[in-house]
Structure 1
């Protein structure tokens, strides 16, 4: 059985600063891409804990065709 692995792109916006993913990550399923987005939010929140301010982090996930397939967001108040 052949396993299809899709490439997903994780565009990140944090408090007005935007980074478009041009490399992507291979994931077997859309659910795996969702888990990767949530894990990235968790790691970004850990990095923000030392700074006293408000963070709104959004990750928009695109598939190989450039279609947005999901979005995950986190609001963190550290002050």
Structure 2
């Protein structure tokens, strides 16, 4: 079974996959990469209004075979008149 590595970028911060996954195909590696991004966004909500989460699939030879990015963009349509709450 082929070995694939899925590197994760949280904006520009890289978490390199050093172990890899044995998967049936590149298509399965693609599915795994796509499935990781919503969890990254859910557990690491950004402080600002712009954030990118990227997964990069490498084959056992180290070549990049697939890349997917989930982007979060936000902005006030009408800003509230009061200051934001302070979180402790």
- Taking structure 1 as the reference length, what is the TM-score of the superposition? 0.82
Number of residue pairs matched by the alignment: 74
Moved beyond 4 Å, runs of 4+: none
Question: What is aligned with 2:41?
Answer: 45
Structure 2 segments unaligned to the other structure (5+ residues):
76-88
Distance in 2 separating the partners of 1:30 and 1:10: 11
Distance in 2 separating the partners of 1:66 and 1:56: 23
Considering fraction of residues, name the structure with more strand.
1
Q: Deviations over 1:11-51 (max 9, x none)?
A: 111111112110111110111000000110121121134x4
Distance in 2 separating the partners of 1:10 and 1:55: 19
The 1:78–1:27 alpha-carbon spacing in structure 2 relative to 1, beyond 3 Å, is: farther
Alpha-carbon distance, 1:78 to partner = 5.5
Q: Which has the higher contact order (CA 8 A, sep 6+)?
A: 1
Q: Determine if contact 1:52/1:78 at 8 Å carries over to the other structure.
A: no
Structure 1 segments unaligned to the other structure (5+ residues):
none
RMSD between superposed Cα atoms in Å: 1.6
